[in-house]
Chain A
């Protein structure tokens, strides 16, 4: 072990701030052994193995010959037109979702931050979308968007916003946004909880000081609440971007990438390449590109926001 982190100043300060901790590496590693063994098998091994596969031409339709091809798989997948379609769909889906989730969650958090009767019950019920399986979420919205008897058509017909039932998911211009809507609905609760806990940690003194200085309600919100919420926003944006970029379940249930590739996101491209074309080498290459993109995204969001905040 060449790891010297334990001696770095911040850690030392942290350790001296707590009362007393024993130095006992043998027991520590013994206690860590099970978790390390499990993670080595179920995460480290697959990640490394996936990299290995991505350099070979592995096709289940041709099981006996699996030659080494170097970076050919990567070159091949990025040269496909569909790859760039998938990239643009994923970017749109992620951007729309993250922005909408953050805004809706902020609004609900502002509501739940007020003192009123029934607030606790409301907060508990907020967990319902978070708890339900994504498959149930998918079919619930599939039925709402249904082209003849769906609730969306029914509601809009009743209020007179449309004069005939529309095939919502069949319209390439709307599909991705409708899927994003289902995703947003399910992810808003977690985002709300994270923003709300940050909101509750804002010291009341800040508001008092702002009021004494003559700030009105809006000014207090803009100059006290919003800046203080930045850590919460950052957490929500990074986490939701990572979840949105890998979204698969809703695509599978609602549209299977269609119509006309309108919802053909990266994870769907990986699924098709791997399990429909049975080309594991290129599938692994695509997976690696997505994994690296996710890492990079998290890193850049944290850096960009971290610097500005």
Chain B
């Protein structure tokens, strides 16, 4: 009897010890996998930030200084500096006294470019909401002939590659006299944002109960009132997602901006940053600083609204 109990106890401790060992192994495995993933995902960005804080002597050292010895915000100062009164051959670029790395005089263009990017993105977001919300309500909550066809047509317009739209857009924008204007970007960015906006909003509106519509109508609401007073407050999570996607798509867009903008009157952040990257005389530490500037707003938005972004991105995935 006691022998039996002892054997059972021994078996149970052995079992427990093995499971604790297994748990430890699992923990170590998970930790390593998570660390590996973190290095893969954030490593390149961390290196960009580190490079942007190094001076010319440090950034051209072999082996690289993974963490800057003497971090400096010199590059960022050049970006927010007030413009020199006149640009001459001598002051057209500022030379790093240590080793001759260039910071271009066009560094100042980044702030106006940010203003352009914000204006374009803001207008695109607003227009997306204006045309997207009523359309999504109609597609999700009203029965009519052509409903399914409309959804397919709206979605399929996004399958066309941007570069295929460039030629007709260019001729069209030139004919309207809108080359090198913010309007050209706002108009053309609707092509790349509106279909996705409608898609997300339709998925969300469909998940809201239909009875609300009936109840509001019985109470004497018009369709517009039903939409504004009943559904809009409930749809706020999807509206946040739409605002974020339209903003990020506009802020990050490069190809169309490259075609339509020529001067800083309309150039957006990606264009100005790309112009630094294509000039091999410019210090890489400055190019990285410009990159950091371009990266900060979208990354902050993505991290702050992570929940809405993930639910927006997966809106269609579950339903297939």
Judging by beta carbons under 8 Å apart, are A154 and B62 in contact?
A: yes
- A131 to B123: give the CA distance in the assembly, Å: 20
In the complex, B214 has a CB within 8 A of chain A:
yes
In the complex, B267 has a CB within 8 A of chain A:
no
A1-31: CB near B (< 8 Å → 1, else 0) gives: 1011110000100010011111111011111
In the complex, B204 has a CB within 8 A of chain A:
no
Residue of B157, B168, B191, B313 with highest tally of chain A CB at under 10 A: B168
CB neighbours (8 Å) of A35 from chain B are 131-132, 134-135, 154, 194, 198
Assess A197 versus B317: contact at CB under 8 Å? Given A118-B34, A124-B306: yes
Judging by beta carbons under 8 Å apart, are A6 and B314 in contact?
A: no
4 new A-B contacts at CB < 8 Å, known A34-B130, A39-B191: A15-B143, A124-B306, A140-B291, A149-B284
CB neighbours (8 Å) of A305 from chain B are none
Judging by beta carbons under 8 Å apart, are B37 and A111 in contact?
A: yes
- A60 to B145: give the CA distance in the assembly, Å: 45
* Number of A interface residues in the complex (CB < 8 A): 104
The chain A residue sitting closest to B146, CB to CB, is: A3
What are 11 A-B contacts with C-beta separation under 8 Å?
A: A3-B149, A15-B143, A21-B141, A28-B147, A39-B194, A42-B191, A114-B30, A127-B303, A131-B299, A140-B45, A148-B60
Judging by beta carbons under 8 Å apart, are B217 and A38 in contact?
A: no
Which of B137, B172, B302 is within 8 Å of A46, CB to CB? B172
- A133 to B117: give the CA distance in the assembly, Å: 12
- Closest CB pairs A-B (n = 6): A131-B302, A31-B138, A287-B164, A246-B161, A46-B168, A25-B144
How many residue pairs link A and B with beta carbons under 8 A? The number is 318
Q: Is the interface of B mostly helix, strand, loop or mixed?
A: helix
The chain B residue sitting closest to A198, CB to CB, is: B317
In the complex, B240 has a CB within 8 A of chain A:
no
CB neighbours (8 Å) of A116 from chain B are 27, 30, 34
A132-165: CB near B (< 8 Å → 1, else 0) gives: 1111101111111010110100100110000001
CB neighbours (8 Å) of A209 from chain B are none
**Which residues of chain B in 62-81 are interfacial with respect to chain A, using CB atoms and an 8 Å cutoff?**
62-64
Assess A142 versus B277: contact at CB under 8 Å? Given A1-B145, A18-B210: yes
B250-266: CB near A (< 8 Å → 1, else 0) gives: 01101100110000000
Which of B45, B62, B214 is within 8 Å of A20, CB to CB? B214
Judging by beta carbons under 8 Å apart, are B254 and A44 in contact?
A: no
In the complex, A185 has a CB within 8 A of chain B:
yes
In the complex, A291 has a CB within 8 A of chain B:
yes
Give min CB distance, A28 to chain B, whole Å: 4
CB neighbours (8 Å) of B63 from chain A are 154, 157-158
In the complex, B166 has a CB within 8 A of chain A:
yes
Judging by beta carbons under 8 Å apart, are B34 and A122 in contact?
A: yes
Judging by beta carbons under 8 Å apart, are A34 and B134 in contact?
A: yes
Which of A38, A43, A274, A283 is within 8 Å of B160, CB to CB? A43
